[in-house]
Amino acid sequence: MWRRLTSKPVRLAFAAMSLLVIWHTLAMAIASAPESMITTSARLLYHPYLTLFRLDNNWGFFAPTVELGGQFRYIVEDAAGQRHTFVPAEKLSRFLPTSIWFKDRYKDILEAIETHGQAAAAAFCLEHAALHPVAITFVELEQKDFSPADRLSGKHPLDPEFVDERTLEAIRCPAQ
Amino acid sequence: MPGPVTLAPVQATSAPARRATLAPLRQAWSRFWFQDWSRLWFQDKSTSPLEIARIGIGAALLLHYGLASPYLFTLWGDDGWMPRALLADDISDPWKQSVFFYFTAPWQWAAFHAFFLFCCAALMLGWRTSWVKWGVLVGNISYDYRNPSIAYGVHAILACLLLILCFAPIGRAMSLDRVREVWSAKRKNLEADPPAFSSPWAFACTRLMQIQMAVLFFFSATDKLRGDDWWSGDAIWKVFVSDDYYNGFLLDLLASQYWLVNVATYGTILIEIAYPFLIWQRRSRPYLLVAAIFLHLQFALLMNLYFFSFVMIMGHMSFVRREWLSALGAWWKRKIGDMEMIYDGTCGFCKRSMAWFLAFDGLRQIRIRDFRTNPSPVVSDEKMLKALYLVLPDGRALPGFEAYRYVVLRVPGLWWQVPFFYVPVFSRLFGHPIYNWIAANRSRL
């Protein structure tokens, strides 16, 4: 096709296309590359492009280490002082994207209880209004190592011996 | 002993001599620029691989964000999980932009969400593609930056692929835009056959998407190689032990056959590290492509990462060779056989509806014959006055509704009509009288 590349406008278009593919290819590499003197300098130039188009991603899926999981629970304390434990993830369908969004939400609550706790507690109080809740307590089960031998002896990764339970402070329900 | 080297003054070199000296350099440069560089980036090719990615990504986004509709204000609203105040740090970067940052009333969220879903549907169908693709890109980035806490791997790869699709001249094949183009030409002349679109820029954008996938796999593999879980071959066990991906049956199987964990762990790394290097070669590409798609099907089925896996597979489609698609199309045409539609060339309505019908026949499976100028040896003119006919390779001739019914199942571009023509009992019950009425009144339509 380049036999047709005789006119100046076509040559200019060819040069512009070449510059764009070089620019974008470098952007893809710089966005994912580990930090070094070269990439740090290049990032100064590429930052607007990478950020505006949301290209600034690294691709370390489940890497370098696979995080041990956990489970989010909450306890509803009712007016009579009784405590009801709920595991909200059990209600989620793994076939729907809501499952991932809600699990991310639960992680956010546990990681930043001071930021998200109040709003989350208010939502759970509303959801369980029939129990006449007075407070919500968030609980995190942090998973520990679980070996194939444990499984072969009939254990479950969330059995008490394989988790650390972390109870966060209770948050009072807002006045109805 | 050699004497001192004397350099001839530059100004003393004559112009023809200089030209002669530089000629090989100039030749090498032009060979690189016009042959090697253009072979690498700018071959005159169709957009087919990108169109497959467009259709898949459009459908995936439509489903994903369509399912999010009931949670619009919870996920992205100011009174939801991520109040705007919590984003203060993110918003301080002027390059992180989201249309949601500028909304003040709930109807604006709802209107934009509806607009975005419309753009996703239009992208999937290829309707006004050159415009709607930008709406999808802006929407996708806006959702991600408005609530970064729910964005994960799939959103990252979507942003990268969508930008490349925006650069690319998509919507030129397998799209309603192409149907409109062909329809417009065939309305003037039913025999018209607008050439399929191809351009060097389409190839360059396909190449960019290929590089994106290779870069992704390369860094995904190298990150894994830094981790002890992956080196020791235990990573897959830890994934399935995690409550997020727990699967009792699978865990029992892996515990009793632990070698499967090692094979899966090392197999994942092997595919990811081999992909960026071996996917480029003609011979190894099919194997790497199958391996990568197999890997993502495992993620979908065993880890329930359907959306992520599907989008990744769409990215891999950039490596599908046009020759494979052509061979697939040729195989389908051979399997279905020749089809000839005979119509009445004096009937304006018949010609308009034929033009519309043929516009969806991207594989050019249907031949046409106007019985007024070119009578059929199979169907008599008396029969032709009553209905359109379809002649099959075995000599059978199907009239009217039955002709359309036969064709819609066999022409991929018309598959969307199958539900109308194949509803048991109802399709024939209503289809025959409707067709017969139209055929009888065609001169007045």
- Per residue in B286-310, pLDDT (tens digit) is 999 999 999 999 999 999 999 999 9
Q: What is the pLDDT of residue A4?
A: 57
Q: From the centroid of its chain, how far is CA B317?
A: 7
Give the closest of A55, A103, A119 to B159, CB-based.
A55
Nearest-angstrom CA–CA distance, B25 and B17: 14
Any idea which fold B329-440 has? Answer: Glutaredoxin (3.40.30)
Q: Are residues A150 and A80 in the same domain?
A: yes
Residue A91 DSSP class: G
Contact B228 A67 (CB under 8 A): no
pTM above 0.95, yes or no: no
What b/e string do you get for A67-85 counting C-beta neighbours within 10 Å, with b at 16 or more? ebbbbbbbbbbeeeeeeee
Residue B2 DSSP class: P
- Within 325-354 of B, beta carbons closer than 8 Å to A belong to none
Give the closest of A1, A68, A151 to B44, CB-based.
A1
Min Cα distance B117 → chain A (Å) is: 16
Residue type, position A151, single letter: R
Tokens standing for B307? 């959306």
Of residues A53, A162, A110, A106, the one with CA closest to residue B162: A53
Of residues B241, B237, B236, B249, the one with CA closest to residue A69: B241
Q: Are residues A53 and A91 in the same domain?
A: no
Give, for A39, the enclosing helix (H) or strand (E).
helix A37-52
Contacts of residue B60, Cβ cutoff 8 Å, sequence gap at least 6: B307, B310, B311, B314
- Within 80-109 of B, beta carbons closer than 8 Å to A belong to 81, 83, 86, 93, 95-97
Boundary residue ending a domain (A38, A61, A84):
A61
Tell me whether B213 touches chain A (CB under 8 Å).
no
The tens digit of pLDDT for each residue in B21-42 reads 778 887 777 777 778 888 999 9
Contacts of A101 in chain B (CB under 8 A): 68, 71, 75, 150
Nearest-angstrom CA–CA distance, B185 and A165: 70
The tens digit of pLDDT for each residue in B185-244 reads 999 999 999 999 999 999 999 999 999 999 999 999 999 999 999 999 999 999 999 999
Of residues B349, B331, B344, the one with CA closest to residue B412: B331
The tens digit of pLDDT for each residue in A43-55 reads 999 999 999 999 9
Q: Are residues A88 and A159 in the same domain?
A: yes
Residue listed under structure tokens 């499967």: B260
Q: Are residues A78 and A55 in the same domain?
A: no
Min Cα distance B387 → chain A (Å) is: 48
Could you give the 3-state DSSP secondary structure of residue B301? helix
Instruction: Indicate if the pLDDT at residue B160 is higher than 70.
Output: yes
Q: Are residues A77 and A45 in the same domain?
A: no
Contact A152 B255 (CB under 8 A): yes
**DSSP-assigned letters across all residues of B352-394:** HHHHHHHTT-TT--EEEEETTTS--SSS-HHHHTT--EEE-TT
Give the closest of A18, A98, A152 to B71, CB-based.
A98
Nearest-angstrom CA–CA distance, B302 and A168: 33
Instruction: Indicate if the pLDDT at residue B11 is higher than 80.
Output: no
Contact B160 A59 (CB under 8 A): no
Contacts of residue A155, Cβ cutoff 8 Å, sequence gap at least 6: A146, A161, A162
A43 close to A59: Cβ distance less than 8 angstroms: no
Contacts of B97 in chain A (CB under 8 A): 52
Could you give the 3-state DSSP secondary structure of residue A85? strand
Min Cα distance B141 → chain A (Å) is: 7
Give the closest of A53, A95, A157 to B246, CB-based.
A157
Q: Which residue has the higher pLDDT, B49 or B20?
A: B49
Per-residue pLDDT tens, chain A, 176 aa: give them. Answer: 555 556 788 888 889 999 999 999 999 999 999 999 999 999 999 999 999 999 999 898 888 889 888 999 999 999 898 999 999 998 888 888 888 899 999 999 998 898 889 889 999 999 999 999 999 999 999 999 999 999 999 999 999 999 999 999 899 998 76
Min Cα distance A135 → chain B (Å) is: 20
- Per-residue pLDDT, averaged over B96-106, amounts to 95
Nearest-angstrom CA–CA distance, A25 and B209: 10
Q: Are residues A54 and A31 in the same domain?
A: yes
Q: Are residues A125 and A159 in the same domain?
A: yes
Nearest CA in chain B to A148: B255
Residues of the domain holding A37: 2-61
CA dihedral B275, B276, B277, B279 (to 10 degrees): 60
Contact A69 B258 (CB under 8 A): no
Nearest-angstrom CA–CA distance, A85 and A72: 11
Q: Are residues A42 and A74 in the same domain?
A: no
Please determine, for the modelled complex, whether the ipTM score is greater than 0.95: no
A to B CB pairs, distance under 8 Å: 173
Phi, psi of B64 (to 5 degrees): -60, -55
Q: How many domains does chain A have?
A: 2
Tokens standing for B13? 């070199």
Could you give the 3-state DSSP secondary structure of residue A33? coil
Min Cα distance A171 → chain B (Å) is: 17
- Within 140-159 of B, beta carbons closer than 8 Å to A belong to 140-141, 144-145, 149-150, 152-153, 156-157, 159
* Domain assignments of chain B as residue spans, ordered by start: 48-207, 329-440
Instruction: Indicate if the pLDDT at residue B91 is higher than 60.
Output: yes
The tens digit of pLDDT for each residue in B134-149 reads 999 999 999 999 999 8
Contact A17 B200 (CB under 8 A): yes
Q: What is the pLDDT of residue A95?
A: 84
Nearest-angstrom CA–CA distance, B68 and B120: 14
Phi, psi of B107 (to 5 degrees): -60, -25
A56 close to A31: Cβ distance less than 8 angstroms: yes
Min Cα distance A82 → chain B (Å) is: 28
Q: What is the pLDDT of residue B8?
A: 44
Nearest-angstrom CA–CA distance, B248 and A156: 9
CA distances in angstroms from B80 to A75, B257, B327, listed in the order given: 22, 45, 51
Q: What is the mean pLDDT of chain B?
A: 92
Q: What is the pLDDT of residue B86?
A: 85
Give the closest of B86, B160, B237 to A55, CB-based.
B160
Instruction: Indicate if the pLDDT at residue B318 is higher than 90.
Output: yes
